[in-house]
Amino acid sequence: CDIPISSRQAFPLPSLPRKQPTVLVVCGPAQNGAIGLVCARHLRIFDYEPTIFYPKRSPDPLYRDFTTQCEKMDIPFLSYLPTEVQLINDAYNAVVDAVLGAEGEAGEGREPCAAILATLKHVRIPIVSLDVPSGWDAEAGGSGGLSPDVLVSLSAPKQCARRFLGRQHFVAGRFLPYDVQKKFELNPPEYPGTECVVALRAPR
Amino acid sequence: QEEAQAIDQELFTEYKFSVDQLMELAGLSCATAIAKAYPPSSFTTSRPAVLVVCGPGNNGGGGLVCARHLKMFGYEPTVYYPKRPNKPLFEGLTTQCQKMDIPFLPEFPAEAALIDELYGLVVDAIFGFSFKGAVREPFGSILGTLERTTVPIASIDIPSGWDVEKGKADGLQPDMLISLTAPKKAAMHFTGRYHYLGGRFVPAALQEKYALNLPPYPETDCVLQLT
């Protein structure tokens, strides 16, 4: 459960264009989606107004509890994702993409992920992707996939992060023991002070 | 004390939080508060060595989490954990610390002076808000020694040995108190330098229900300095 603790801190506190600090959190069926649920809960604690779209719910009891926690905190769950992109642009300040992560995304071609991604590709509000922009291959990156504004790499950037062209790239998930870091030659950046999120320098 | 227990109960039964989740967030708050009040550069010992004394329950579990995060923050924690519950949660937390090369002392330093020499700070994670009644060994002697140390003590939630509501005038006098979720009544008797609030996970609805009147946390911080 450590990953989510960091994810929520990656959200900068920009001056949001809309009066209400609304954020749409789109959660896929597996772990990436579960992280999105935890992220939504912390956003609520930070006084944002998250709304969740979680069409395919995992049967995992841990993830079901995450859902309950969100529901009990009055975070609304959409019953469908508008295909009319303008509705999303108008209602929310940003979208959190917690649809698919790095775990071998056979899910990409399957519904409902394919339809979700097709819609998200056309939103004009910023997208924040958790770990891997959904639909991207974790190593090769994506062509014609999502172009997120912000990427939050969990634990360490994945190979595909080299192709990230958005505004801000954060690393979060400050829990890797040193011997694990060394063993996998991760060389994560230094986290400042007690922060659990660190901004990476822009590429190039 | 009953209110604190009631809030906890609601978090677990209504909101379906797991003990692991809340303990992790609580332990992280403690480490964060400690790092703010006692940055590694402020230590007079040659290394930022911290002794974390963990009791037999959830307060001790929070101490284990705290120790692990202190290590990530660049401190050198050492744990003393004499009474370990036979539950996977605590066994897991212990393993995580051990795998991160956090030493576990086989016995408690015999003299207060030894603690003063070796460590720049002691974290008191012995007893929490469920504590009632008499202090059982080995914690009686441990508290006796801690009462004689001169290095600062940071207590998690309740200074150990204190009555959860009335305090204990001749008991431990910690320099720092990290109240979790909301300050307990005993906090009124706290006279140390630093009082922090941690455990930023209480939903607004619960805060209202129990009229907690918590001041707002700054931005995305997981701790709030009260004094």
> Is 70 exceeded by the pLDDT of residue A41?
yes
In B, minimum Cα distance to A181 occurs at B100
Q: Which pLDDT tens digit goes with each residue over B36-75?
A: 999 999 998 889 999 999 999 999 999 999 999 999 999 9
Whether chain A has a CB inside 8 Å of the CB on B10: the answer is no
CA–CA gap between residue B69 and residue A174 (Å, rounded): 9
**A72:B205 CB<8 A:** yes
**A178:B25 CB<8 A:** no
Q: Which of B24, B73, B205 sits opposite A1 (nearest CB)?
A: B24
B21 chain-A contacts, CB cut-off 8 A: 1
In B, minimum Cα distance to A42 occurs at B201
pLDDT, chain A, mean = 82
Domain boundaries, chain B: 1-225
Per the model's pLDDT, the better-predicted residue between A180 and B32 turns out to be B32
CB-based burial, B119-134: b 16+ in 10 Å, e otherwise: bbbbbbbbbbbebeee
A177 chain-B contacts, CB cut-off 8 A: 99-100
Q: What is the pLDDT of residue A1?
A: 43
Whether chain A has a CB inside 8 Å of the CB on B205: the answer is yes
Whether chain A has a CB inside 8 Å of the CB on B24: the answer is yes
B99 chain-A contacts, CB cut-off 8 A: 177, 179
> Is 70 exceeded by the pLDDT of residue A7?
no
User: What's the ipTM?
Assistant: 0.86
Domain boundaries, chain A: 2-200
How far apart, in Å, are the Cα atoms of B63 and each of A54, B66, B70, B134?
A: 35, 5, 10, 21
Q: What is the DSSP letter of A6?
A: H
Q: How do strand A22-27 and strand A49-53 relate by DSSP bridges?
A: parallel
Whether chain B has a CB inside 8 Å of the CB on A184: the answer is no
Give the confidence band of A104 by pLDDT, cuts at 50, 70, 90: low
Architecture of domain A2-200: 3-Layer(aba) Sandwich (3.40)
pLDDT, chain B, mean = 94
Whether chain B has a CB inside 8 Å of the CB on A51: the answer is no
Domain B1-225 grouped into CATH 3.40.50.10260: yes
Contact yes or no for B129/B199 (Cβ under 8 A): no
At A96, is the secondary structure helix, strand, or coil? strand
Per the model's pLDDT, the better-predicted residue between A187 and B82 turns out to be B82
